[in-house]
Chain A
């Protein structure tokens, strides 16, 4: 083989993979062809390590319109001939280098994934993970990422309705920036990434193509000098204004019914966009790079094919409809250029001024070698899980609760959410901050609830259980708003999967997620994978993010987590008593805040979870419930404190016997628990329904007064809790 290692390294192809390619082609690829295959066989496009595992996810259910792995995003039916289209995607690495532009272009990419399917984006959510804000670099990343999301998302006029922000040491230098976009479309308007028949025209629309984001391979054939470094912009600068025009023009084009297919140009640029469309239909493509509008002079075919310039889209149009589509883009002052056509010979043929510069069978290059490893758990984990949880109840409970409310993972996120326009489009019924956001669906009585969530500590401690809890808790959040979970999407953020203990985490998380998604009947309809998230400081926590959509049939029946009126009775379902033992503190926020340690392990009973979720949804639908709030990070103490803070009213507890640790009972994170409040008039009916359904529950107390007062256990004014909670993020920035 004449190929040198340096060339292979630059396109991240192993020698074995190169040999597979040569054997399949029955010849050596040229430089451009090698670049194309390197891209298509990368983890980002080809999912080499994750695909065999992702096949474990099942996405069949009657309401699933487009399941996982088939398109840019998944789609579910919500009735009224409407489809919800959704996906979550990571932009971790770019955000670590240039947080503002990295996060901004991440938003741009996920939004294009949604409107490339003909769906109008109606909501964005972000799950962000950083190292502690006490570190200057982490603060820089945090502030840059938040303003990048704000800068790009606000300009598009898509409401950003929340998500999650988590701080942990493992994300120092490895920030995770996951963005979810949700769109809506009439069933008949959904557009797929397909080519249709031979002769159809490939229209490239949107921004001009520059040398953005081309991987090191570009310069493989030239000596790297200062000048060539200058020529290679590592970070892309997003243009949200152009994206907004592209969004409107593409949706207008989609409404004409004249589009055969549409696919955005994301990671992998024109290469993966055009070739994936052909692969979906078993066709070929023939395109000429000389026709691609450039931002810069002197670009080679290699650079044009591998460029990752933002805000571009590929449309496939029958020849007779080209004028019609182009006139739409003209009106929006956007380029639309025919760069080639669909063929029936199954070849990906790239030309420059007519001359063929690359030619390979689509089938061969879109079928990367896949790797199924045998994961092995890190031997130290068993001891961490079984280590004793002790040294509890050292401080007065009041002090502990205030400390936890004031911690960076529990405190109020309003200072972030208010930088995002969460109201534009006039659908936001419940703004960010509650268990989930709620949007109305105009023209119907319906609403949807949206949430992204995961817990890296749980997944690190026990990947299977952690994966299951990520799904169960996200579903529980939707249930608390009165929404029936419809479908989930995910973004699997992990470290290097070639290490067997990381592969083990990935595999176990997926299996756990799959089991919970089966138990709770929430199909997986799309997903994204971000691997190799590690630096010299070590790997990230396994972070399988779950994004979920739920349906509320009658928006007027939606529920919120704030306590409402004095006199309402407060119940906890999912448990028969306030008392919990020490094991419920496994991998908890309490241990992290008080003991700076992760030990023990979380647990979940999926049968109980399912029972509780069905029951709460039913009672909300019967309008028996005044407020519902999930018990999660920080345990029941944090859950009731938040309901008091949001409701600006106290809770007067009944007498509860606690024989063991107070801290375990208050801050333990036993799953499947929900705090509900019920009017006195409805309490009999509520209790009898609970008994009929064999629902474990107990009455905690009554909404009233100015204090959270559990007699003999904890007593704080709502005002002091509010102060601690509201100032948490600002104070953790100041703790330098």
Chain B
């Protein structure tokens, strides 16, 4: 599977994502500068975390106009996989590929901490290796991760199974205490209507190696790789 890790000016999780995909999951990875305009050879685009354009004005607001975003939109329309992590989620929302917005954390502070995510929909290409209501230990690191959507959109997200993850406690209860940023209904990650574009605030690439504290992020990357492989026609051996 070929991954394009998109690098905007100010991106910083690019290398973390690339390293994990290469060293842990043994996939092909290219770092793609935001001025590139051809993503036709990639199966998945990752929009990593960071502060694209310093997050000045609004997080993701300037990055969405980068030339590469036209091709990211094309990938989303083609049904190829797109995952926005942290700042990448913010860019996907600003660009309209995902509904809703990410506003400043309710307590107004930056938060870097471990969170527990309840998997809400296991039929997605990002979660189909998980069990329903499985709890994933994955850290967050952001100042603007407070998800908001108007009631009609929230309703649609719920009806269509577009909510991928919610912040929860260890037993899977959705509580205010376990909501690290004030997100509406503890939403931590959502997908588009077709289910091939995921945005999530937590950093799965930070939780794929045991000595960093958790390997639960692997469920997400492995789901993506497995669902890609499942779609490929069986190759004839020569």
Q: Do chains A and B touch in the complex (CB under 8 A)?
A: yes
User: A interface vs B, CB < 8 Å?
Assistant: 147, 150-151, 154-157, 239-242, 244-245, 331-333, 417-426, 428-429, 440, 442, 555-556
| Chain B: CB-nearest residue to A244 | B10
Query: A419–B113 Cα gap in the complex (Å)?
Result: 9
Contact B54 A155 (CB under 8 A): yes
CA distance A442 to B15 in the complex (A): 12
CA of A242 to CA of B33 in the docked complex: distance in angstroms?
17
A431 to chain B, nearest CB (A): 8
- Chain B residues with CB under 8 A of A147: 109-110
User: In the complex, are the beta carbons of B206 and A426 less than 8 A apart?
Assistant: yes
B141 at the A interface (CB under 8 A): yes
21 A-B contacts (beta carbon < 8 Å): A150-B109, A155-B55, A156-B12, A157-B12, A157-B13, A239-B54, A241-B55, A245-B9, A331-B33, A332-B9, A417-B112, A418-B113, A423-B112, A424-B16, A424-B49, A425-B16, A426-B20, A426-B206, A428-B212, A429-B211, A556-B211
Q: Across the two chains, which residue of chain A brings its CB closest to B14?
A: A157
B10 to chain A: which residues have CB within 8 Å?
Answer: 155, 241, 244-245
Q: Contact: A244 with B206, CB < 8 Å?
A: no
**CB-defined contacts of A426 to chain B, threshold 8 Å:** 16, 19-20, 205-206, 209, 212
Q: Which residues of B contact A239 (CB under 8 A)?
A: 54
Q: What residue of chain A has the Cβ atom nearest to residue B17's Cβ?
A: A426
Please name the residue on chain A nearest to B112 by beta carbon. A421
Beyond A245-B10, A421-B141, A426-B19, list 5 extra A-B contacts (CB 8 Å).
A151-B110, A154-B110, A157-B50, A419-B111, A419-B112
Instruction: Determine if A150 and B110 form an interchain contact, defined as CB atoms under 8 angstroms apart.
Output: yes
A429–B9 touching, CB < 8 Å = no
- Picked from B19, B55, B113, the residue with its CB within 8 Å of the CB of A442 is B19
Q: Which residue of A lies closest to B50 (CB)?
A: A157
Which of A155, A245, A442 has most B Cβ within 10 Å? A155
Residues of chain B within 8 A (CB-CB) of A150 are 109-110
Asked if A241 contacts B211 (CB within 8 A), the reply is no
Give the docked Cα–Cα distance between A156 and B51 (Å).
8
A224 to B131, CA, bound (A): 72
Chain A neighbourhood of B139, CB < 8 A = 423
Does the CB pair A422–B112 fall under 8 Å? yes
SS class of chain B's interface: helix, strand, loop or mixed? mixed
Return the chain B residue nearest A146 by Cβ. B109
Smallest CB–CB gap between A715 and chain B, Å?
A: 30
Cβ contacts B91-112/A at 8 Å (1 or 0 each): 0000000000000000001111
Measured CA separation A245–B34 after assembly (Å): 14
Point out the residues of chain A lying under 8 angstroms from B12, CB to CB.
Answer: 156-157, 244, 424
- In the bound complex, residues from chain B placing their C-beta under 8 Å from that of A240 are 51, 54
With CB as the reference atom, state the residue of chain A lying closest to B211.
A429
CA separation between A684 and B109, bound complex, in Å? 50
Total interface residues on B, using CB and 8 Å?
A: 30
CA separation between A423 and B50, bound complex, in Å?
13
Which residues of chain B from 14 to 60 have any CB-CB distance to chain A below 8 Å in the complex?
Answer: 15-16, 19-20, 33, 49-51, 53-56
Taking A426-B19, A426-B20, A555-B211 as contacts, is the C-beta distance between A154 and B143 under 8 angstroms? Answer: yes
Partner of B51, one of A241, A332, A429, A440: A241
Within the complex, what minimum Cβ distance (angstroms) separates B48 from chain A? 10
CB <8 Å contact, B211 and A440: yes
Given that A154-B110, A555-B211 are known contacts, is A423 also in contact with B54, CB under 8 Å in the complex? no
Q: In the docked arrangement, what's the CA distance between A425 and B15, Å?
A: 7
Give Cα A442 to B16, complex, Å.
Answer: 11
**B107-155 interface (Cβ within 8 A of A):** 109-113, 139, 141, 143
The minimal Cβ–Cβ distance linking B215 to chain A, given in whole angstroms, is: 13
Q: List which B166-208 residues lie within 8 A (CB) of chain A.
A: 203, 205-206
Residues on B with C-beta less than 8 A from A425 are 15-16
How far is B19's CA from A239's CA once the two chains are assembled, in angstroms? 28
A555–B56 CA distance with the chains assembled, in angstroms: 39
Task: Point out the residues of chain B lying under 8 angstroms from A418, CB to CB.
Answer: 111-113
A423 pairs with B206, CB closer than 8 A: yes
For A429, the chain B residues whose CB sits under 8 A away are: 211-212
Best-buried of A155, A245, A333, A423 by chain B (most CB within 10 Å):
A423
User: Of A154, A241, A423, which is within 8 A of B53 by CB?
Assistant: A241
Contact A424:B211 (CB < 8 A) given known A156-B12, A157-B50, A418-B113 = no
How far apart sit A417 and B111, CA to CA, in the bound complex (Å)? 9
Q: Interface centre among B16, B33, B141, by most A CB within 10 Å?
A: B141
Minimum CB–CB distance from A621 to chain B (whole Å) comes to 18
Report which of A245, A332, A424, A440 forms a contact with B141, defined as CB distance below 8 A. Answer: A424
A333 vs B51: C-alpha distance in the bound complex, in angstroms? 16
Chain A contacts of B203 at CB under 8 A?
Answer: 423
Chain A residues, Cβ within 8 Å of B205: 426
Give every chain B residue within 8 A of A244 (Cβ-Cβ).
9-10, 12, 51, 54
In the complex, are the beta carbons of B212 and A423 less than 8 A apart? Answer: yes
A332 to B53, alpha carbons, bound, how many Å?
Answer: 12
Given A155-B51, A421-B141, A442-B19, CB of A241 within 8 Å of CB of B9: yes
